[in-house]
């Protein structure tokens, strides 16, 4: 108000009629944000604020990420490899996530979903996506371009890493009996009930003489059981502690992650027993 009074003093006396007339004039609306700015944080109609992981980025980083995206159309059945640092956003249709060199389905990601390649293990399981609709549109970030942008947002990197771990775990778990003997729907029913675990190289999983807490399905890397004289290695697609859980026996030796670490899926004892009942072929596999 002081500025207004000072302005009146500088320009001289103003009649009440003039003030009343000015007050009745229509106000000038505030300028709307430019179309470029308002659309920059969306890609192909998908709002980045609603995308897992990328939605936690500040607005200016979302704008930058959107500008770096490369759009691509995938026909049904068309395959696209995802590089080691790659991140992919499905904007229309859906993709099936698979290992690079296998046909086993790991997950189906529909519009608005993210596929990330960089998981917790340094030794990555390479992934690819396959168009799973009549026409699928995706936004892709490959190489170091997205890694450089995200490096200053560690919480986003962590969230994308968890997404990658989950997809890699499902992809690797299908290399064994689950991929050979269960169809996609039954595998999905098993995966939905299991948690993803990451073990660093040499990490103790269960000590000798201890009761295994549940069933562990190795997805990538390996887990080693040793009684001091012999070692038994469990690789991608193999169950650890299956017989122990079924017979309630103790671990005969220390069980540790191998030299590469291990990515695994885990079901506590109670969940494992429920899965045996709801997915009958699983009982035979574990036996």
Residues 273 and 268: their CA atoms lie apart, in Å, by: 9
Q: Compute the half-sphere exposure of residue 259: CA atoms within 13 Å on the CB side of its CA.
A: 0
Mean pLDDT to the nearest integer, 162-168: 95
Q: For the chain, what is the mean pLDDT?
A: 84
* pLDDT one-digit tens code per residue, 211-261: 888 889 999 999 999 887 788 899 999 998 877 777 777 888 899 999 999
Tokens encoding 134: 């009549």
Are 213 and 269 in contact, with CB atoms under 8 Å apart? yes
Compute the Cα dihedral for 41, 47, 50, 51 and give only its sign.
Answer: negative
pLDDT at 263 exceeding the cut of 90: yes
Residues 191 and 259: their CA atoms lie apart, in Å, by: 26
> Which range (5-9, 155-159, 198-202) has the least confidence?
5-9
pLDDT at 2 exceeding the cut of 60: no
pLDDT at 262 exceeding the cut of 90: yes
For residue 99, which of 111, 107, 91, 87 has the smallest C-alpha distance?
107
pLDDT at 18 exceeding the cut of 70: no
The pTM of this model reads 0.81
Q: How confident is the model at residue 266 (pLDDT cuts 50, 70, 90)?
A: very high
Q: Where do runs of H (alpha helix) occur along 219-265?
A: 242-247
Q: How confident is the model at residue 94 (pLDDT cuts 50, 70, 90)?
A: very high
* pLDDT one-digit tens code per residue, 30-49: 334 444 444 458 999 999 99
- At residue 160, the pLDDT reads 94
- At residue 73, the pLDDT reads 96
Reported for 271-279, long-range contacts at CB under 8 A and 24+ positions apart, including other chains, are: 271/193, 271/194, 271/214, 272/214, 272/215, 272/245, 273/245, 274/193, 275/189, 275/190, 275/193, 278/189, 279/182, 279/186, 279/189, 279/190
Task: Enumerate residues 6+ apart whose C-beta is below 8 A from 144.
Answer: 85
């Amino acid at each position: 108000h002081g500025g207004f009074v000072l302005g009146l003093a500088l320009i001289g006396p103003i009649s009440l009629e003039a003030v009343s007339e000015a007050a009745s004039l229509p106000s000038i609306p505030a300028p709307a944000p430019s179309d470029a700015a308002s659309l920059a944080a969306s890609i192909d109609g998908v709002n980045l604020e609603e995308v897992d992981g990328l939605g936690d980025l500040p607005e200016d980083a979302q704008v930058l990420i959107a500008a770096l995206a490369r759009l691509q159309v995938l026909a049904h059945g068309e395959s696209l490899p995802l590089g080691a640092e790659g991140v992919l956003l499905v904007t229309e249709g859906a993709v099936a996530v698979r290992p690079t060199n296998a046909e086993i389905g790991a997950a189906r990601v529909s519009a608005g979903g993210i596929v990330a390649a960089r998981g917790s293990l340094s030794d990555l399981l390479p992934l690819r996506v396959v168009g799973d609709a009549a026409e699928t549109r995706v936004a892709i970030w490959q190489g170091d371009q997205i890694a450089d942008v995200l490096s200053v947002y560690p919480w986003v990197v962590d969230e994308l890493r968890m997404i990658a771990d989950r997809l890699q775990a499902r992809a690797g778990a299908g290399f064994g009996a689950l991929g050979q003997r269960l169809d996609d729907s039954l595998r999905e029913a098993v995966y939905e009930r299991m948690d993803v675990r990451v073990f660093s190289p040499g990490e103790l999983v269960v000590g000798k003489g201890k009761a295994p807490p549940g069933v562990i399905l190795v997805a990538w890397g390996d887990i080693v059981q040793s009684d001091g004289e012999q070692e038994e290695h469990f690789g991608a697609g193999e169950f650890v502690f299956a017989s122990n859980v079924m017979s309630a026996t103790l671990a005969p030796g220390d069980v540790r992650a191998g030299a590469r670490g291990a990515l695994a899926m885990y079901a506590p004892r109670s969940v494992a027993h429920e899965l045996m009942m709801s997915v009958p072929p699983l009982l035979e596999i574990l036996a």
